[in-house]
Amino acid sequence: MTRRALLLSLLAGLLLATASPAHAAGYRYWSFWDRTGSTWTYATEGPSTAVPSDGDVQGFRFAVSEDSADADTPRGTASFTAICGDTAARDGRKRVALVLDFGTASDAPSGETPPARRTECAVIPRDATTAEALATAAKPLRYNTNALLCAIAGYPETGCGEQVTGATKPAAAERKQDGGPSVGLWVGAAGVVALGAAAVWQARRRRHA
Q: Average pLDDT per run of 10 along the chain, which is 209 residues long? A: 47 44 77 96 96 98 92 93 96 98 96 97 98 97 95 97 74 41 38 43 51
| 188 and 148 part of one domain | no
User: Given this model, what pLDDT does residue 29 score?
Assistant: 97
User: Given this model, what pLDDT does residue 109 score?
Assistant: 96
Distances (CA, A) of 72 to 27, 96, 169, 177, 178: 12, 21, 11, 7, 11
Is residue 175 in some structural domain? no
Q: How far apart are CA 128 and CA 52, in angstroms?
A: 8
Distances (CA, A) of 60 to 40, 92, 138, 143: 10, 26, 11, 15
User: Given this model, what pLDDT does residue 12 score?
Assistant: 44
Is residue 93 in some structural domain? yes
Is residue 174 in some structural domain? no
| 136 and 198 part of one domain | no
Measured in residues, the chain has a length of 209
User: Given this model, what pLDDT does residue 175 score?
Assistant: 42
Residues 6+ apart with CB under 8 A from 25: 66, 163, 164, 165, 166, 167
| 117 and 194 part of one domain | no
User: Given this model, what pLDDT does residue 167 score?
Assistant: 57
User: Given this model, what pLDDT does residue 171 score?
Assistant: 45
| 192 and 124 part of one domain | no
| 7 and 44 part of one domain | no
Is the pTM above the cut of 0.85? no
| 86 and 131 part of one domain | yes
- Report the domain count for the chain: 2
User: Given this model, what pLDDT does residue 70 score?
Assistant: 86
Domain range for residue 132? 23-169
Is the separation of the CB atoms in 93 and 118 below 8 Å?
no
| 194 and 126 part of one domain | no
